[in-house]
Structure 1
Amino acid sequence: MKRKLAVGAVLSASALLAGAIQVSAGMAYAAPNPASLGRADQLALAAAQAPAAAKALGLGAREKLVVKDAVVDADGTRHFRYERTYDGLPVLGGDLVVHQAANGRVKSSDKAVAGSLAPASLSPKLTAGQAAAQAAGAVRATVGLAHDADEAALASVSGASGSPELVVWAADGAPRLAYRTTVEGVRADGTPSRQRLVTDADSGAVLSSHEDIQTANANGTGNGVFVGSVSLTTTLTGTTYTLKDATRGGQYTSTLAGKTSGKGTLYSKTTNTWGNGLASNSESAAVDAQYGAAVTWDFYKNTFGRSGIRNDGVGAYSRVHYGSNYVNAFWDDSCFCMTYGDGSGNTHPLTELDVSGHEMSHGVTSNTAGLNYSGESGGLNEATSDIFGSLVEFYANLPKDNPDYLIGELIDINGNGTPLRYMDKPSKDGASADYWSSTVGSKDVHYSSGVANHFFYLLAEGSGAKTINGVSYNSPTYNGAALTGIGRAKAAQVWYRALTVYMTSTTNYKAARTATLNAAKDLYGAGSAEYNAVAAAWTGVNVN
């Protein structure tokens, strides 16, 4: 009978090596692959293995490991994050990560601080009351000074909150006894302050300080030119709201107000309602840009586990109202930013959602495969942005911007209501290639992209006539074969893995076929329906 790991489980030395778990009731059984355990059970397993891990790492008898987090890979490899205590006192700077094989064998560890954690003494010279008074005094000394550029200066201090806690301070590599104290106050703009200070238990010297209360994330509303009425995550500092999103890497939107250089001016106001849906309102295009950046972030995060364009948790910023009558939008690696023109007559901003997803995906390509922006690799670069730009639109699923396989259908650059590009039959734009030929690489990259766009559509949706979200498509194949798609979700995973794992700067269409087949093999297995569909879709666009 399969049992769940009990929270109070303890691990014996033999069980650690054999992969068996001995629960408190005394019944031993073979443990399931830890990757199949729920998070609570993974944490329980980490807690159960803490004593053995401490012994394997050679920690002293006075040191204990307290589980903080657990990550288990698909193959069962474990990464257990622990805090440490010394004689029961929390150790600040004592955290570490223990890396184990699936059978519990410790492979390696990463420690915040190496070496001994033993302080010279565990008897403080200062009382808790004296420590509290000194901590509050240290904070009062900062009244009138801003903590950093984004915060208002401290206006007043009410004093220590609660009794200071004895800890071992080891973060600087010189372990000593200390007090951790919380001091409360108010900033000049009315924002509350709660600072945590670590002070030396003998001298009262401040060893560390940290402000618990950061400027707030606020739930705003916006009405964009293309996205319509949407929710926006903004920042409130005092009484001022800004189009800055701390939950997505600090990405923000600014206006260039007709200029063509600089970071622009961050949008800010005392209310949290933005734009009116009209291009004549400067904020409306900003709503499109800010929302587009947020949805693109969420798409990559929730679909691929990618945290931002560089996968480093840092958000890009967006600039709107670039130049005059500028009929384009672009991604720039050097500023790590998106830029949007206002179009013809400065009344047709280029801030449509799939344009946002398209341009920011150039940043993803730049930080992964780095596909050269010329020849066939340039076509693959552009197609990657079309593919992910379209997928961002499907992810958002907005009523005002119907998800489709049409690129830039709302910005009407052509002046006749037609989109810039069609993924089901690229040649409908009059210039793009439906199929590969030896001359594809000599086309403009926006047109040579048609081969990969067509491939992706066939892979996701299949060939022939169909209607998706009210839009009619009719996608042919080079060899006349009837193809069945594997769906957007699987097709997206194949393309992303190929881009991030197998493609290089010089990948051409033949190599892209190999890259996506390798990706499909990794994800779904060689000879799987998905693998065969990738092969058939490339054959359908004459890439053999």
Structure 2
Amino acid sequence: MTSNPLRQVVLACAALFTAAAAHASHPADHPQAVARALAHLQGSQGVLPEADSFDARDVMIDADGTEHVRFARRFHHLRVIGGDVVVHGHASGALRGLSRTVAATPALSVQPTLDGSAAERAGLKTANVAEGATVSHELVVFAHHHKPTLAWDVLYVGQTKEGLPTERHVIVQARNGQVLDSFDDIQTADAVGTGRSLFLGRIAIHTDSQAGGGYVLRDLTRGGHTVSDLKGKFVGKGTLFTDADNLWGNGTNANRQTVAVDAAAGHAYTWDYYLNVHGRHGIADDGKGASSKVHQKLFGLPYVNASWSDSCFCMSYGDGDSSYNPLVALDVAGHEMTHGVTSRTAALIYSGESGGLNESTSDILGSMVEFYANNAAEKPDYLIGERLLKDGSGTPLRTMIQPSVDGSSADCWFSGVGDLDVHYSSGVGNHLYYLLAEGSQPAGGAASPTCQASDTRVATGNAVLTGIGRDKAEKIWYRALSVYMTSSTNYAGARVATLAAAADLYGGAGSTTWNAVNAAWAAVNVK
């Protein structure tokens, strides 16, 4: 993206790939790799062929031919939530290892004593869903947080009692009706908004010239991404933005196109970051662009939030209110679309420590989108949503430098961190990443305290760590996410995943980079 006047651009950007990164493909494109991985699984300890089955979800092939095949697991035909596994092997047939949370075949009966309708009733209070929602149930094996147990996955789709959209899963034990967990497939920024190319100044955006004249806000060079106007509604397809002269917005909220420019730019920068840094072709790695919707309101009232939804493969941006700008800030856009990347790789369950990791992954890689863009009007930093307040104070929603300064987030891992809201337990991953990339006392940057053994939410230590730089840190995190993490990965598991990624990319176990990753985790009390 450039500072030239806005005009249609018809040449697609050339794809750049990092030599070390794995390239994802559909399993059908690599039947031999899938067959090799499945043979390893079926012959591994803890797997019973008569009870366990595996469905390939994703295949990643490294430049040296190493294969990483991700499988969803079923037990007696029931989906195992938290049972996904990644098989790491070579084209020669040799097995490198397995990434999994559930090692052994579950030892349980698949006959429920509680029926699905009773489970739906049991989950109602936890679901917080308004009347009119659609409800469905599926018998599953639940292996997240707990020893595998038979459960009902009850899905409530509609609105919460506060009027927000929800796709709420409530996991109900299939024998005693106990609610084991709940999480939402609609993942939000948990706060506030933004505006202009309110924020990014005058930039070039890709549009689609129409045969009958005029233009629509569709980017054909990035998977056909579109931007639509919800016109004050909360849900719906919206109306695709059109324009006669291909000049969009005027930098103020008075022009409805202005925030559409920010939404288009947010998708473009995020697309380019994942493509040029990680070799990923779009959020789902299938070359298809998402859609974005702006001017979202809640029952006609101001709405201060932004969200990613897997079900519509789309972004929605609220208009903000008297205190907050529209939520189309670049770091918010990168954060939310990274939820989509996570859902199509590790699929980190949005509760407990895995939910905190889900949120920190969006903060981490969303911030790296901002550094990648390096837009003159949007200074890249480790602050989340710092330009959303209209008063210009620069107060962020979260900071990765010392997360606890917001009064709620955790700097350090402790035994109760998984009980925090996922936006606050994310602080552990955010803090780790800042220490890893920048160090504890970076030259020209903000100092970040480390964690002492007795620390919980607030870090009080002063250990000295030297950062490895953003370039290495972002590649390690993305590889850990896409190759080694699974849906139930916790912070201890994330440490193992990032160490494996560092070994793959930068000199093996015991290398300088590997040791730096290990030290950074120790500095947030994950050992």
In which range does the TM-score fall when normalised by the shorter chain?
A: 0.5 to 0.7
Task: Tell me what 2:205 maps to.
Answer: 232
Structure with the larger strand share: 1
1:273 equivalent among 208, 229, 247: 247
Task: Tell me what 1:528 maps to.
Answer: 511
Task: Tell me what 1:294 maps to.
Answer: 268
Distance 2:62 2:519 in 1: 32
SS at the partner of 2:332? helix
Query: Using a 3 Å threshold, how does the CA distance of structure 1 residues 415 and 273 change in structure 2: closer, same or farther?
Result: closer
Task: Tell me what 2:228 maps to.
Answer: 254
Distance 1:378 1:264 in 2: 30
Tell whether 2:476 aligns with 1:499. no
Tell whether 2:312 aligns with 1:369. no
Distance 2:521 2:323 in 1: 41
Query: Using a 3 Å threshold, how does the CA distance of structure 1 residues 414 and 439 change in structure 2: closer, same or farther?
Result: farther
Task: Tell me what 2:282 maps to.
Answer: 308
Distance 1:390 1:291 in 2: 15
Tell whether 2:369 aligns with 1:378. no
Query: Using a 3 Å threshold, how does the CA distance of structure 1 residues 311 and 414 change in structure 2: closer, same or farther?
Result: farther
Distance 2:321 2:501 in 1: 42
SS at the partner of 1:224? helix
Task: Tell me what 1:478 maps to.
Answer: 451
Query: Using a 3 Å threshold, how does the CA distance of structure 1 residues 330 and 74 change in structure 2: closer, same or farther?
Result: closer
Tell whether 2:495 aligns with 1:513. yes
Larger Rg: 1
Q: How far does residue 75 in structure 1 lie from its aligned partner after superposition? A: 3.8
CA contact (8 A) 1:280 1:347 kept: no
CA contact (8 A) 2:324 2:389 kept: no
Correspondence 1:157-172 to 2 at 5 A? none
Q: Which has the higher contact order (CA 8 A, sep 6+)?
A: 2
SS at the partner of 2:203? strand
SS at the partner of 1:344? coil
Per-residue CA deviation, residues 484-537 of structure 1 (Å, 9 max, x unaligned), is 111101000100010001111111111110011111111111111110110000
Kindly tell me the number of residue pairs found equivalent between the two proteins.
328
Query: Using a 3 Å threshold, how does the CA distance of structure 1 residues 414 and 380 change in structure 2: closer, same or farther?
Result: farther
Correspondence 1:7-86 to 2 at 5 A? 74-75=63-64
Q: How far does residue 371 in structure 1 lie from its aligned partner after superposition? A: 0.5
| Percent of aligned positions that are identical | 60
Correspondence 1:409-420 to 2 at 5 A? 409-412=386-389, 416-420=393-397
Query: Using a 3 Å threshold, how does the CA distance of structure 1 residues 421 and 73 change in structure 2: closer, same or farther?
Result: closer
1:282 equivalent among 249, 256, 281: 256
What is the one-letter code of the residue matched to 1:231?
A
Tell whether 2:415 aligns with 1:438. yes
RMSD between superposed Cα atoms in Å = 2.2
Query: Using a 3 Å threshold, how does the CA distance of structure 1 residues 75 and 359 change in structure 2: closer, same or farther?
Result: closer
Distance 1:275 1:76 in 2: 48
Normalised TM-score (structure 2): 0.60
Distance 1:414 1:449 in 2: 27
Per-residue CA deviation, residues 226-258 of structure 1 (Å, 9 max, x unaligned), is 111111011101211111001000001011010
Tell whether 2:332 aligns with 1:355. yes
What is the one-letter code of the residue matched to 1:270?
A
The structure 1 segments of at least 4 consecutive aligned residues displaced by more than 4 Å after TM superposition are: 413-416
Structure 1 stretches lacking a partner, 5+ long: 1-35, 37-71, 78-100, 103-221
SS at the partner of 1:338? strand
Distance 1:509 1:503 in 2: 10
Q: How far does residue 76 in structure 1 lie from its aligned partner after superposition? A: 8.0
Distance 2:421 2:382 in 1: 20
Normalised TM-score (structure 1): 0.58
Tell whether 2:517 aligns with 1:542. no
Distance 1:277 1:326 in 2: 20
Distance 2:498 2:304 in 1: 34
Q: How far does residue 467 in structure 1 lie from its aligned partner after superposition? A: 2.9
